[in-house]
Structure 1
Amino acid sequence: MKPTASNINIKNKRASFDYEFIDTYTAGIVLTGTEIKSIRQGKASLVDTFCFFSKGELWVKNMHVAEYFYGSYNNHAARRDRKLLLTKKELRKLERGTRETGFTIVPTRLYINEKGLAKLVIALAKGKKQYDKRESLKEKDDKRMMDRMFKR
């Protein structure tokens, strides 16, 4: 079964465990033809990705988009840097946020919108401490136990 545009939803599950999200933005991505075809097939990963500024532009680094099976010599590099498209106001706000210590920009979700365009949800995030991570695990376990009790 071939996935349709509406059910392509690639998440970075590790990001919500390691970071506390302050603010989220939806950004467009500059892609080549074979990259968008691979994403439409669901062959992308956001593991170990992060965003950085270079010359006033926002880029995503380490995002893995598998090479397109039917691509020829024009195929893309799997882990190349990709430019993100945001408004100038959003870019200024993010750049100001990353100048503060402890803040970073983390991709959280990659999806295809109703127009067929690839969008990346990014978040201005602050790293969690070890005790915050333990607290998150405890809340997750408590929620699971509550769900079990109410289903009976």
Structure 2
Amino acid sequence: MAKEKDRIKKNVNIVNRRASYEYEFLSKYIAGIMLTGTEIKSIREGNVNLQDGFCTFLQNELWLHQVTIAKYTEGTYNNHEPTRPRKLLLNKKELNQLNKKSEEQGLTIIPIRFFVNDRGFAKVEVALARGKKLYDKREDIKERDVKRELQRERF
């Protein structure tokens, strides 16, 4: 019993750190996600990979693609497929806003954070994002270095 308690994390917070380097976030939304039985168990263990994830609209519904939720170790033949598309749950107003904005040239919807809220529901934070150019990435690196140097001088 002690091993099982150690395996399941209290608060799951999986962040796509690469996304903030590759994209400029214009707006963020928190969406629910439709899961099967073994997927939520695997999420609570922290076995989620958001690196290649993206969202698309199919028939006015938002779908999450290429997010890998690893198979549950204790699962049997009922285990889920790791990279299947998953439906995201948002208000109709938010879906309409995202759909209109995502049709613009150069904008995409990406998952940036996967977490379990205090009620135990899995949530995904998605962002409407624009890809950064190479010079934008260089400016971000310079700003980060300047902040780091200032903190070193303070202490």
Mark yes or no: TM-score above 0.5: yes
Identity %: 51
In structure 2, relative to structure 1, the CA distance for the partners of 1:105 and 1:49 (3 Å cut) is same
Query: What is the distance in 2 between the residues matched to 1:45 and 1:79?
Result: 10
1:37, distance to aligned residue in structure 2 (A): 0.2
Matched, 1:51 2:74: no
1:96 paired residue number: 100
1:125 aligned partner, one-letter code: A
Query: 1:4 pairs with 9, 27, 31, which one?
Result: 9
Q: TM-score if structure 2 supplies the norm length?
A: 0.94
1:3, distance to aligned residue in structure 2 (A): 4.4
Query: What is the distance in 2 between the residues matched to 1:73 and 1:2?
Result: 22
Matched, 1:13 2:31: no
1:5, distance to aligned residue in structure 2 (A): 3.6
2:66 paired residue number: 62
In structure 2, relative to structure 1, the CA distance for the partners of 1:86 and 1:48 (3 Å cut) is same
Matched, 1:135 2:139: yes
1:145, distance to aligned residue in structure 2 (A): 1.4
Preserved contact between residue 23 and residue 132 of structure 2 (Cα < 8 Å): yes
Query: What is the distance in 2 between the residues matched to 1:28 and 1:137?
Result: 33
Over the aligned positions, Cα root-mean-square deviation in angstroms equals 0.9
Matched, 1:87 2:91: yes
2:46 paired residue number: 42
Preserved contact between residue 9 and residue 46 of structure 2 (Cα < 8 Å): no
Query: What is the distance in 2 between the residues matched to 1:148 and 1:77?
Result: 47
Preserved contact between residue 5 and residue 116 of structure 1 (Cα < 8 Å): no
- Which has the larger displacement, 74-83 or 141-150? 141-150
1:124 paired residue number: 128
Preserved contact between residue 63 and residue 85 of structure 2 (Cα < 8 Å): yes
Query: What is the distance in 1 between the residues matched to 2:153 and 2:8?
Result: 35
Q: TM-score if structure 1 supplies the norm length?
A: 0.96
Deviation string, structure 1 residues 7-59 (Cα, Å, up to 9, x no partner) = x1100111111111000000000001100000000011101110000111000
User: 5+ residue gaps in structure 2?
Assistant: 1-5
